[in-house]
Amino acid sequence: MDWIRERLQSCEDEVALIEDDRQYLYSDFMKHIQEWTERLQRDNVKEKEVVAIFGEFCAEMLFSMFALIQNGNIVVPISLEKKENLESMLKVARADKIYSFQAETIAFENLKNSQSHELIEQLRKENATGIMIFTSGSTGEGKCAIHKFSNLIYKARKQVKRKALKSLVFLKMDHIGGINTIFSVLFQAGTMVLIKDRSIKKVCSLIEKNQVELLPTTPSFINMLIISGAVEEYDLSSLKLITYGTEPMPTTTLQTISQLMPNVKIRQTYGLTEIGIFSTKSKDNSSTWMKIGGDEVEVEVRNHILFVRSPYAMLGYLNAPTPFDEEGWYNTNDEVEVDGEYFHIMGRKEEIINVGGEKVFPVEIEGVLAQLPNVLDVVVQGKKNPVTGQIVTALFQLIEDEDEKAFKKRVIEYCKKELEPYKIPRIICISDKNFIGTNLKKKRL
Amino acid sequence: MNNTFEVVKNCVEEVLSMNGAEEVEIRFDSKIVHDLGMKSLDIAQLIALLEIQYEKDPFSEGATLANVITIADLCKLYE
């Protein structure tokens, strides 16, 4: 891992990291990694061991991750929100040791693990470092994807020609998008701005204060950015690029944000925990159509579903059968439309609602419904039905209280003008709960 | 039975008014399709509303749509 040290050393006078009011130059960053290397020795953390780092995403956690990678470990970042499943996650990961970062203290524990897994052994035999990432399963700990570190950062390692934009690390360290941001920025002499509170107010004030240039985020967050009026309230003029991924983008949201922030380039990214983040190229700023692939990554559409084959994909899951077919293709379960070289992600196959044989994509309906006045957020889902197989339901979160009957009437009148009958939500409910989960994606119940 | 009829009737009214249908008299023996003019999506919605109302899905418990011709047939499923 000498090249990492060399890469960081080559820009030692640049600012690597901003956390709260503290700035770390690349030289500081390396000093902290060295301190962590010494700590690992004191704690008898041996090469090739599986080490979990758990807690609120902070600079110390980041230093520890770099030190562990340099030490030849397999790292398992786990964010604080996963606290409930921590024990089972550690078991699945066959973690030998854990560092917990909570309330300014760092605790170390030897987990006395005696289990291993063939994929862990594979990495050990190759003398390779690794990173494990858990998918955000609807229940329990999710699936544990094990990646070879060199594969995960192949793109970031290659990019050296230009300095990375000053980026807000919006996605967390235990998310494939978060990992991608960290290495893309740090291997290109960029500056990362860390954030703990991902509320609109905090994100916008950090952008304003630190003159952030790149915001990697999710469509749900962009929606909130529009609805909250924060674009007018804060000075976000430093932003040059907003990237979004992780869930389908409603066309209306994309068009609105492009109008509100005409000087900001909006780019869609595409990636999955299992196969990493791919190179993409959007048709234009307000288009959800993009080219996917390159860098030896192959894409194929079978029966409207996107399949991907990449030499940089994960090795496999530690707690589920391999999702790759015999030829190494991965079924993304994303239904797509194709126009020449461009793809449009319609939605996850399992989220598509089938109303009497007609397909309804929740994200499309959500985009239409979100345009209604007094709507803060909306989740559209299918409900099993004996007549049409499924019907469309919509659960709204409102900005201000409104009479339910009058609201439903308003929704229906609007839908009749905007949607085909089978797409109109037949069950309309109002909730006071937040629909955006800890992964900053919309929660589909 | 009267109570069930009232609930079913309210749900039918909600569906019809939501979908802009002309006002029509809803009787116990009204035929759902022929008399009330309900289409498949309307009936789907009606059944979903009744499921929420009664927290019960008779169709997952063996009831079949073929036996639901009138409002009375529907009422029987929720009594």
Percent of chain B at pLDDT exceeding 90: 44
Strands A389-398 and A375-385: antiparallel
Q: Can you give the pLDDT at residue A8? A: 84
Q: Binning pLDDT at 50, 70 and 90, where does residue A119 land? A: very high
Report residue A364's pLDDT band, with 50, 70 and 90 as the boundaries: confident
The CATH number linked to A134 is 3.40.50.980
CA distance A248 to A263: 23
Strand pairing class (A342-348; A289-292): antiparallel
pLDDT at A388 > cutoff 80: yes
> A49-63, A139-153, A187-201 — which one is most confidently predicted on average?
A49-63
Q: What is the pLDDT of residue A441?
A: 63
| Domain extent at residue A421 | 352-430
pLDDT of residue A192: 95
Tell me which of A122, A152, A182 is where a domain ends. A152
Cβ-defined contact of A385 to B41 (cutoff 8 Å): no
Please tell me whether the overall predicted TM-score, pTM, comes out greater than 0.90 for this model: no
Planar angle of CA A405, B40, B23, nearest 5 degrees: 50
Question: What does the pLDDT read at residue A439?
Answer: 58
Lowest mean pLDDT segment, chosen from A26-30, A119-123, A334-338, A435-439: A435-439
Within 10 angstroms of residue A402's Cβ, the number of other Cβ atoms is 16
User: Which chain A residues are Cβ-neighbours of B59 within 8 angstroms?
Assistant: 386
Residue B27 distance to chain A (closest CA, Å)? 22
A423: distance to nearest CA of chain B, Å? 10
B47 contacts A427? CB cut-off 8 A: no
On whether residue A245 sits in a domain, the answer given is no
Domain boundary among A136, A152, A168: A152
Between A372-376, A402-406, B19-23, B58-62, the lowest mean confidence (pLDDT) is in B19-23
pLDDT of residue A440: 58
Selected residue with higher pLDDT from A254 and A433: A254
Out of A384, A386, A391, the one facing B45 most closely (by C-beta) is A391
Q: What confidence score (pLDDT) does residue A159 get?
A: 63
- Res A396 pLDDT > 90: yes
Q: What is the pLDDT, as a whole number, of residue A166?
A: 93
pLDDT band for position A351 (50/70/90)? Answer: confident
Structural domain tally of chain A?
2
Q: Is A365 a member of any domain? A: yes
**pLDDT beyond 80 at A330:** yes
Instruction: Tell me whether residue A182 is in a domain.
Output: no
Asked if residue A445 has pLDDT above 60, the reply is: no
CATH number of domain containing A377 = 3.30.300.30
Lowest mean pLDDT: which of A64-68, A307-311, A362-366, B25-29? A362-366
Domain contains A106 = yes
In this prediction, residue B74 carries a pLDDT of 93
Task: Output the pLDDT for position A246.
Answer: 62
Question: d(Cα A12, Cα A202) in Å, to the nearest integer?
Answer: 29
Q: Which residues contact A265 (CB under 8 A, 6 or more apart)?
A: A240, A241, A242, A285
Of residues A293 and A430, more confidence is placed in: A430
Q: B2-78 has which fold?
A: 1.10.1200
Residues A149, B28: Cα–Cα separation, whole Å: 69
**Last residue within a domain, chosen from A102, A132, A152:** A152
Distance to chain A for B44, nearest Cα, Å: 5
DSSP A108-161: EEE-------HHHHHHHHTT--EEEEE---SSTT--EEEEEHHHHTHHHHH--S
Pairing between strand A167-168 and A192-193? parallel
What is the number of CB-based contacts under 8 A between chain A and chain B? 43
pLDDT value of residue A421: 87
Note the pLDDT of residue A171.
85
Task: Write the CB contacts of A74 (distance below 8 Å, at least 6 apart in sequence).
Answer: A48, A49, A50, A51, A120, A123, A129, A130, A131, A132, A146
Q: Domain for residue A93, yes or no?
A: yes
Sketch the domain layout of chain B as residue ranges.
2-78
| Residue A72 belongs to some domain of the structure | yes
- What does the mean pLDDT of chain A come to? 88
